[in-house]
Amino acid sequence: MEALGTSEAINSDIDSSQTATTSVGRQVLPAEDRMAHRNRTVPSFALLTLAWLTTVVIGLSWLWEYEATPGEATTSPRSWPDDSRIERNMDRPTLVVFAHPRCPCTRSTIGELAVIVAHCEERVDVHVQFFRPSSVSSEWEKTDLWSSAEAIPGVSVVWDENGSEAMRFRATTSGYSLLYGANGQLLFNGGITGSRGHSGDNAGRSAIVSLLMNGVAAQKPNTFVFGCPLLGRDDACETGRQI
């Protein structure tokens, strides 16, 4: 019996010096091995977290830069072009908005236009000119943007084949808006959103509403335009679709 007890004690000592096992047979590392494994894991996790945060920061920086970068700056005619086919009202101001029907950034422009009309419907004639290449099939320009513009009371919505009117008014970016007085003189030109694809109070909308309501611009009469290149097909707006 004594020999048997000694044998059991020896076996017990051997077992305690070896790697322990759980009740379900999984290995449990000795304390010093577990500590070494943890020391290796923590730096790896930290590096992965740092890499993820760096990627997020770069992505957000690129997105912010894209949203805050305006379209090409142009100088529109100071007087209404004589050869324009757009009907200008001789008794009150005329607002013309040039738009690409497939530019996602322009949704906010149409929304801001609705706000302007809601405040000043009886004080201005509004025309939305949607670019349409002659090479495309009919109805190409009839997107949700077209439908949204048509839904605004009193707004005239037409297609601008090959951007002929846009070129007369030197509009190169979707969302470019021009307000001409009853005398045909330019009162405002620029965008009516604060950044690309963002709605809300902005200098362009405020300037137009002030001009129509008070006869003077509360803000500067020209602003940056945020949108896709106007005179292009789908490829002009591919970047915007990815945002």
Q: Please check whether residues 47 and 100 belong to one and the same domain.
A: no
Q: Collect all residues with Cβ–Cβ distance below 8 Å to 76 and sequence separation of at least 6.
A: 169, 170, 171, 178, 186, 189
Residue, of 228 and 27, whose pLDDT is higher:
228
Structure tokens at 43: 């730096």
Q: Please check whether residues 41 and 102 belong to one and the same domain.
A: no
Q: Please check whether residues 119 and 214 belong to one and the same domain.
A: yes
Q: Please check whether residues 64 and 133 belong to one and the same domain.
A: no
Query: Is 24 part of any domain?
Result: no
Query: Is 11 part of any domain?
Result: no
Q: Please check whether residues 101 and 150 belong to one and the same domain.
A: yes
- Of 68, 84, 114, the last residue of a domain is 68
Query: Is 1 part of any domain?
Result: no
Query: Is 135 part of any domain?
Result: yes
Per-residue pLDDT for 200 more than 90? Answer: no
Query: Is 82 part of any domain?
Result: no
Q: Which has the closest alpha carbon to 179: 72, 85, 76?
A: 76
Structure tokens at 41: 């894991």
pTM: 0.70
Q: Please check whether residues 149 and 44 belong to one and the same domain.
A: no
Q: Please check whether residues 165 and 230 belong to one and the same domain.
A: yes
* Number of neighbours of residue 31 by Cβ within 10 angstroms: 8
Q: What is the pLDDT of residue 222?
A: 87
**Mean pLDDT calculated for residue range 185-212:** 90
Q: Which CATH number goes with the domain that contains 116?
A: 3.40.30.10
Q: Please check whether residues 151 and 229 belong to one and the same domain.
A: yes
Give φ, ψ of 106 to 5 degrees.
-75, -10
Q: Please check whether residues 186 and 231 belong to one and the same domain.
A: yes
Per the structure, the complete domain to which residue 149 belongs is given by 94-241
Query: Is 134 part of any domain?
Result: yes
Q: Please check whether residues 231 and 174 belong to one and the same domain.
A: yes
pLDDT tens digits, residue range 154-172? 999 999 999 999 999 999 9
The count of structural domains within the chain is 2
Confidence class for position 19, pLDDT limits 50, 70, 90 = very low
